[in-house]
């Protein structure tokens, strides 16, 4: 595995079936061939259809936004890793701050979800990041460090090479407030140092670390030009093909 440049979209709970199809088609037809990997993180109901739309385009992949931690069974309303895999999913966004906030997910649970996603041959996009009060108290590295250690330090080197990390300061998500390129770089460098300590230089160098939090066409280039920022996890701006494509060409 090597470090990739990635523009990943997170549609969250937006887009009905037809809107989702149209958006995926617009992204697929507007994307220029490049080294940048584009990922669409769609609601479950779109996955199978969109996997058909993108199947011949090598630099677009599909992500789910969550996954249950158990293999199968009596978990009404939940979706398993095997189901996702069978619908053509390559990546699974895990530990998004909205899942932490509204669904009580913590890193011990997220660690289990990472395990099952890896077991089924998909790649986790592991989200971490601090709330505003934590940053204001100067404890953001401590908190993100704890998150990363709890969710990822049990993995083997081989498993870690398949994990994408997304640093998403909670105060920047959906707020229009972006971390400065320097704030993003500092945290990404810190996260990479944690990966280096546990998994070694080679794995750290190969780990893709995305920034998320109000990434837009007009700020993407400056963020992505930081040495440890390997792309973005994009919420709002991924819902407009033109904006998302502009972000994907900002490297
Ligand atoms: C996100 O959903 O992960 C996100 C970063 O959202 P936004 O780009 O809208 O801030």
Annotation marks residue 154 as catalytic = no
Cα-to-centroid distance, 174 and ligand 1 (Å):
5
| 137 Cα: distance to centroid of ligand 1 (angstroms) | 23
Q: Write down the pLDDT at residue 177.
A: 85
Q: Which of 46, 96, 140, 188 is catalytic?
A: 96
Residue 78 a catalytic site member: no
Question: Does the beta carbon of 191 lie inside 6 Å of ligand 1?
Answer: no
Three-class HEC string of the chain: CCCCCEEEEECCCCCCHHHHHHHHHHHHHHCCCCCCEEEEECCHHHHHHHHHHCCCCCCEEEEECCCCCCCCCCCCCCCCHHHHHHCCCCEEEECCHHHHHHHCCCHHHHHHHHHHHHHCCCEEEEEECCCHHHHHCCCHHHHHHHHHHHHHCCCCHHHHCCCEEEECCHHHCCCCCCCCHHHHHHHHHHHHHHHHHHHCHHHHHHCCEEEECCCCCCCHHHHHCCCCCCEEEECHHHHCHHHHHHHHCCC
The correct answer on CATH 1.20.140.70 for the domain covering 5-248 is no
Question: Residue 98 CA: which ligand 1 atom is closest?
Answer: 2
> What was the pLDDT predicted at 2?
77
**Which residue's structure tokens are 């750290």?**
204
| The overall pTM is greater than 0.95 | yes
Domain boundaries, the chain: 5-248
> In the prediction, which pLDDT does 169 show?
96
Name beta bridge partners: 59. Answer: none
φ, ψ (nearest 5 deg) of residue 143? -65, -50
Residue nearest ligand 1's atom 6 by CA = 235
Catalytic residue among 68, 140, 168, 188: 168
Find residue 62's DSSP bridge partners: 40
| pLDDT in 10s for each residue of the chain, 251 residues | 679 999 999 999 999 999 999 999 999 999 998 999 999 999 999 999 999 999 999 999 999 999 999 999 999 999 999 999 999 999 999 999 999 999 999 999 999 999 999 999 999 999 999 999 999 999 999 999 999 999 999 999 999 999 999 999 999 998 888 899 999 999 999 999 999 999 999 999 999 999 999 999 999 999 999 999 999 999 999 999 999 999 999 99
């Amino acid at each position: 595995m090597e470090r990739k440049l990635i523009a990943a979209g997170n549609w969250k709970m937006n887009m009905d079936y037809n809107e989702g199809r149209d958006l995926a088609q617009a992204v697929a037809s507007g994307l220029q061939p490049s080294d940048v990997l584009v990922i669409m993180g769609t609601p479950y109901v779109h996955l199978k259809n969109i996997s058909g739309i993108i199947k011949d385009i090598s630099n677009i992949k599909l992500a789910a936004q969550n996954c249950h931690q158990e293999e199968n069974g009596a978990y009404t309303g939940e979706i398993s890793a095997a189901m996702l895999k069978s619908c053509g999913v390559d990546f699974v966004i895990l530990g998004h701050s909205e899942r932490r906030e509204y669904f009580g997910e913590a890193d011990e649970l997220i660690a289990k979800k990472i395990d099952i996603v890896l077991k089924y041959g998909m790649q986790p996009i592991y989200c971490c990041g601090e709330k505003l009060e934590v940053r204001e108290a100067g404890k953001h590295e401590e908190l993100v460090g704890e998150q990363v250690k709890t969710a990822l330090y049990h993995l083997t080197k081989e498993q870690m090479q398949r994990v994408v990390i997304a640093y998403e300061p909670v105060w920047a998500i959906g707020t229009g407030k972006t971390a400065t390129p320097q704030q993003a770089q500092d945290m990404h460098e810190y996260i990479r140092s944690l990966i280096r300590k546990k998994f070694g230089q080679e794995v750290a160098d190969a780990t893709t670390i995305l920034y998320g939090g109000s990434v837009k066409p007009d700020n993407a280039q400056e963020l992505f030009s930081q040495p440890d920022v390997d792309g973005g996890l994009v919420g709002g701006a991924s819902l407009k093909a033109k904006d998302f494509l502009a972000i994907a060409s900002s490297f």
